[in-house]
């Protein structure tokens, strides 16, 4: 069964933590848990089975770090062999659970894919397309291994998530789930926020998204409630068993199953459709949560119809208040700007952007079209440089579909798209790009 037929209609439960259960069975600090899929398959299978047994619908494979940066060797511990073993372990657990109850509940295997642990350019050193390639290999391995869902989790940067989701969409037909990790103030490490996650991920067409790790249920609750204001897709909440403390050199999570379940019940009542746990949570936590949520009448999923655009750290909603769009990055009628374009003077262009940001613009238009320059390359360069210093959303302004696609692909966030008119040929070129990359369309009424 395809889980897309169930999400938002049936309450679904993720499993809980894996790492602390493995540590209890001898996993050493610093040891890569993904290796245990091959070295201790029975232990991994038993952990998965214990989650299926208490009523979890989705178990998460032991593959968070299964990528070619962590596993560069092509031998026994290649990305592909780990992926295969990880899915096989979950599959055996599922067969056992199905045999016990005749498959009374639907059971799925989510292939866990975590952060690459490196910041993308321009904040860090890894190029966007390189991150894409690393994710793409893991995606292909997970798909070939027979996973049911691609789950990107514990990622705390919107740009990395965009590379991951594009890699998933372009290399697999599997459903895509994403959970991101916030601080207690509701911010991602690189400045993104809840509406930004909703805007970006719905724009990219993921099937369900939300939050995991970093916080306990009580700290995560206000962030989850905020997410429910923006998300039209089912929201996932997988908190830790509280905040970690260190006792005798061991990491301990203090929130017990009943306390965990109580807060989870409140979030499910508020509209969360997919719930589970992360670090420190156990089958007992999941059992308590599932028991408590048994008789909730769920809030139906509704379309929020909010027009959101986001940049690297700022989300703007179009509708409630006037939105001011700075139009200084546009050669029309500007001699100096045209000269800057001809001389590839990006610094001048970025300064124009900063000036407008300082003057209170909410969104910046970016138009670099001049007949005598390579518009696509210039657009790529300008978007990249602007986004390295400016958090505001950008409005990609071009009549060239090739330029538009390049800009939308490397854009960090969900852009405003300027523009389409009612011409069939224009709509036919631009709308598929909007569907693929997300975006809010600004339409011109010319005639």
x-marked contacts with Zn ion along 123-142 as a string, rule CB under 5 A = --------------------
Binding part of the chain for Zn ion, among 272-280, 295-303, 320-328, 410-418 by CB under 5 A, reads: 272-280
Distance of alpha carbon 107 from alpha carbon 91, whole angstroms = 10
Q: Is 188 in the site for Zn ion (CB under 5 A)?
A: no
237 binds Zn ion (CB under 5 A): no
Q: Which residues contact 375 (CB under 8 A, 6 or more apart)?
A: 368, 369, 398, 400, 403
Q: Per CB under 5 A, does 341 bind Zn ion?
A: no
Q: How does 320-331 read in b/e, with b if 16+ C-beta sit within 10 Å?
A: eeebebbbbbbb
Choice between 51 and 437, CB closer to Zn ion = 51
Q: Is 151 among the residues that bind Zn ion (CB under 5 A)?
A: no
- Rounded to a whole number of angstroms, the minimum distance from the CB of residue 149 to Zn ion is 18
By C-alpha distance, which of 394, 407, 397, 395 is closest to 433? 407
Residue 227 to residue 236: CA distance in whole angstroms:
10
Segment near Zn ion (CB under 5 A), from 26-34, 55-63, 205-213, 358-366?
205-213
Name the DSSP class of 120.
B
Q: Does 83 bind Zn ion (CB under 5 A)?
A: no
| Burial classification of residue 443, based on how many CB atoms lie within 10 Å of its CB (0-12 exposed, 13-18 middle, 19 or more buried) | middle
- Distance CA(391)–CA(155), nearest Å, equals 19
Q: Contact region for Zn ion (CB under 5 A) — 45-53, 74-82, 206-214, 388-396?
A: 206-214
By beta-carbon proximity to Zn ion, the closer residue of 220 and 396 is: 220
Q: Cis link prior to 224 (omega < 30° from 0)? A: no
Name the H helices within 66-115.
79-101
Nearest to 60 by CA among 23, 107, 4: 107
Tell whether residue 120 is a contact of Zn ion (CB under 5 A).
no
Q: How far is the CB of 427 from Zn ion (least distance, A)?
A: 44
Asked if residue 404 binds Zn ion (CB under 5 A), the reply is no
Q: Which is nearer to Zn ion, 116 or 340 (CB)?
A: 116
Distance of CA 220 to the CA centre of its chain: 17
Check residue 278 for interaction with Zn ion (CB under 5 A). yes
Q: Smallest distance, Å, CB 56 to Zn ion?
A: 16
- Closer residue to Zn ion (CB): 231 or 241: 241
**For residues 17 and 192, which CB has a smaller minimum distance to Zn ion in the complex?**
17
Any contact of residue 236 with Zn ion (CB under 5 A)?
Answer: no
DSSP E strand boundaries for 106-232: 108-113, 149-155, 176-180, 208-212
Question: Should residue 231 be labelled a site residue for Zn ion when binding is judged by CB under 5 A?
Answer: no
Phi, psi of 409 (to 5 degrees): -70, -45
382 scored as a contact of Zn ion (CB under 5 A)? no
How many CA atoms are closer than 13 Å to the CA of 26, on its beta-carbon side? 5
Assess contact for 134 and 68: CB atoms under 8 A: yes
| 66 is a contact residue toward Zn ion (CB under 5 A) | no
Of 147, 213, 396, 407, the one binding Zn ion (CB under 5 A) is 213
Q: What secondary structure letter does DSSP report for 110?
A: E
Contact between 433 and Zn ion by CB under 5 A: the answer reads no
User: Is residue 279 close enough to count as binding Zn ion by CB under 5 A?
Assistant: yes
CB 392 within 8 A of CB 362: yes
Number of residues lying near Zn ion (CB under 5 A): 3
| Segment contacting Zn ion by CB under 5 A, of 51-59, 169-177, 255-263, 271-279 | 271-279
Q: Is 155 in the site for Zn ion (CB under 5 A)?
A: no
Judged by CB, which is closer to Zn ion: 14, or 337?
Answer: 14
Per CB under 5 A, residues contacting Zn ion are 213, 278-279
């Amino acid at each position: 069964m395809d889980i897309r037929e169930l999400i938002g209609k049936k309450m679904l439960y993720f499993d809980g933590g894996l790492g602390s259960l493995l540590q209890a069975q001898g996993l050493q600090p610093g040891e890569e848990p993904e290796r245990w899929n091959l070295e201790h398959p029975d232990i991994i299978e038993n952990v998965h089975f214990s989650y299926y047994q208490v009523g979890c619908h989705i178990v998460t494979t032991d593959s968070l770090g299964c990528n070619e940066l962590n596993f560069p060797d092509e031998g026994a511990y290649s990305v592909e062999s780990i992926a295969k073993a990880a899915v096989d372990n979950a599959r055996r657990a599922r067969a056992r659970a199905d045999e016990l109850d005749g498959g009374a509940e639907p059971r799925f295997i989510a292939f866990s894919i975590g952060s690459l642990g490196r910041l993308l350019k321009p904040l860090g050193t890894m190029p966007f397309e390189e991150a894409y390639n690393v994710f793409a290999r893991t995606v292909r391995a997970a798909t070939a291994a027979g996973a049911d869902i691609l789950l990107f989790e514990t990622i705390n940067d919107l740009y990395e998530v965009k590379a991951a989701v594009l890699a998933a969409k372009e290399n697999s037909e599997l459903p895509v789930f994403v959970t991101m990790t916030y601080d207690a103030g509701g911010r991602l490490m690189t400045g993104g926020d809840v509406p930004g996650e909703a805007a970006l991920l719905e724009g990219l067409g993921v099937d369900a998204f939300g939050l995991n790790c970093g916080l306990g249920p009580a700290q995560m609750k206000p962030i989850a409630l905020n997410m429910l204001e923006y998300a039209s897709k089912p929201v996932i909440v997988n908190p830790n068993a509280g905040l970690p403390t260190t006792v005798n050199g061991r990491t301990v999570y203090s929130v017990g199953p009943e306390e965990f379940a109580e807060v989870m019940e409140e979030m499910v009542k508020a509209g969360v459709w997919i719930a589970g746990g992360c670090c420190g949570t156990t089958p007992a936590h999941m059992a308590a949560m599932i028991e408590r949520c048994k008789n909730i009448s769920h809030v139906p999923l509704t379309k929020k119809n909010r027009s959101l655009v986001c940049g690297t750290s700022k989300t703007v909603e179009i509708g409630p208040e006037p939105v001011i769009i700075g139009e200084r990055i546009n050669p029309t009628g500007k001699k100096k700007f045209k000269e800057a374009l001809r001389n590839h003077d990006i610094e001048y262009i970025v300064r124009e952007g900063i000036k407008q940001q300082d003057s209170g613009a909410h969104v910046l238009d970016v138009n670099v079209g001049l007949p005598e320059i390579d518009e696509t390359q210039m657009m790529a360069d300008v978007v990249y440089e602007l986004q390295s210093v400016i958090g505001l959303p950008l409005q990609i302004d071009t009549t060239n579909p090739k330029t538009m696609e390049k800009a939308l692909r490397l854009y960090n966030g969900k852009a405003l798209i300027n523009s389409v008119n009612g011409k069939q040929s224009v709509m036919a070129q631009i709308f598929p790009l909007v569907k693929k990359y997300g975006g809010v369309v600004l339409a011109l009424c010319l005639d």
